[in-house]
Amino acid sequence: MRGFHWMMLFTAFFLLIGCTSQQEEDAPASGQTTSEEESTNDNEEASELEPPEAVLQKFDTGEEVSQLKHVLHTIGYDLEDSENFDEALTWALTDFQLQSDDLLASGIYDEATSEEVQAYFENEDTLEPGEGLAMPPEEAEKTEAGTDIVGNPYDELALVNKDFALPGDYTPEDLMVPDVPFPFTEDLPKKYMRENAAHALEDLFAAAEEEGLEMFAQSGYRSFDRQEDVFAANAAENGEEHANTYSARPGESEHQTGLAMDVTSAEVNLELVEAFGDTEEGQWIAENAPEYGFIIRFPEGDEDITGYQYEPWHLRYVGEETAKYITEQDITLEEYYEEQMN
């Protein structure tokens, strides 16, 4: 019986050694992962590279912004890891859009841009960051008048005023004539707007027409040279200081962005005058323009902030989200920027 007992102990000992050896053979070496773990890691990485589905723009915050930054970082853009949609991200998106044949350069992350980013990975494309739009310098360049030059003129939310000017050589690449009434038939540059703004203006005019209102688009895009001539003429007639209260120096005019349009009506003889704000068309515009992405850029009583006199006829396209917010808060674009930057 004692011999049998020892035999049982030896048998159990060898079985234990065999099981341990088999477990060591089956276990992955240090630093290695199992096929199941590798699959999980691959799925996580693919998820991280999945472009967000939301529409995002400058000053937005949240995890989707961080996700977008991660995706663009993978493409090659050196972006700060944060949840803030900052100027750097706006530049990176604009640069990506400019390097695509199918996108409008806006600096806004929309559905079309999301699809193009997805196609970039699926097609294993490559691009060189900065080839579409050079990265803005750390210190802004200045105009002859000492105004800071905007580093990303394609940005649909760009602030252009007496403190921030467009580059002298900037011409929007997506200018088109909106299908709205004009009081003239000639094919003049001032008929044009950037594409997103032009389509929004068409929707705005169509809604006004349904209300029985009759409006006319009077003056849209203006080149640097044209603005230079306009300002020079006004300065010669009224002096530069006074001219600068209602007319912008070249580079400082929103008309050069292609995102602005002056509108009028027959009730004021198709003129651009303050009385337009009291007309039925002017009042309807003030109330409904934000629904189509436009703001009254130079409101009454805010001359000290905007630097310009009240212009109820001057519409600026900033997109529906921003236009509604600015109008609801009863602030100017300058105040919106200040609020978002703080």
Task: Identify whether the C-beta of residue 179 lies closer than 8 Å to the C-beta of residue 202.
Answer: yes
In the chain, the percentage of residues whose pLDDT exceeds 70 is 86
Q: Give pLDDT tens digits for 245-281.
A: 788 888 999 999 999 999 999 999 999 999 999 999 9
Report pLDDT for 48.
54
46 pLDDT higher than 60: no
Q: Give pLDDT tens digits for 211-233.
A: 999 999 999 999 989 988 888 88
What average pLDDT does the segment 325-336 reach? 98
The residues carrying an active-site annotation are 311
326 or 39, higher pLDDT: 326
Least confident of 9-18, 68-77, 112-121, 315-324: 9-18
Q: Which amino acid is at 106?
A: S
Report pLDDT for 47.
46
User: From the CB of residue 258, how many other CB atoms can be counted at a distance below 10 Å?
Assistant: 29
Report pLDDT for 6.
38
What average pLDDT does the segment 121-140 reach? 94
Report pLDDT for 275.
98
- Ramachandran class of 195: left when φ > 0, alpha when ψ lies in -120 to 50, beta otherwise: alpha
Please give the order of strands across the beta sheet that includes 294-298: 216-219, 260-264, 311-317, 294-298
Residue 330 to residue 6: CA distance in whole angstroms:
94
What average pLDDT does the segment 88-117 reach? 97
What average pLDDT does the segment 175-182 reach? 98
Q: Write the CB contacts of 245 (distance below 8 Å, at least 6 apart in sequence).
A: 303, 307, 308, 309
Q: Give pLDDT tens digits for 54-64.
A: 999 999 999 99
Report pLDDT for 224.
87
Q: Indicate the angle between helix axes 111-122 and 63-75, nearest 10 degrees.
A: 40
Report pLDDT for 314.
98
22 pLDDT higher than 70: no
Residue-range domains of the chain with CATH: 43-122 (1.10.101.10), 148-341 (3.30.1380.10)
Residue carrying the six token digits 């360049």: 141
16 pLDDT higher than 60: no
Average model confidence (pLDDT) across the chain? 88
Task: Identify whether the C-beta of residue 193 lies closer than 8 Å to the C-beta of residue 255.
Answer: no
For residue 234, name the pLDDT band (cuts at 50, 70, 90). confident
Which value, to the nearest 10 degrees, does the dihedral of the CA atoms of residues 61, 62, 68, 72 take?
Answer: 60
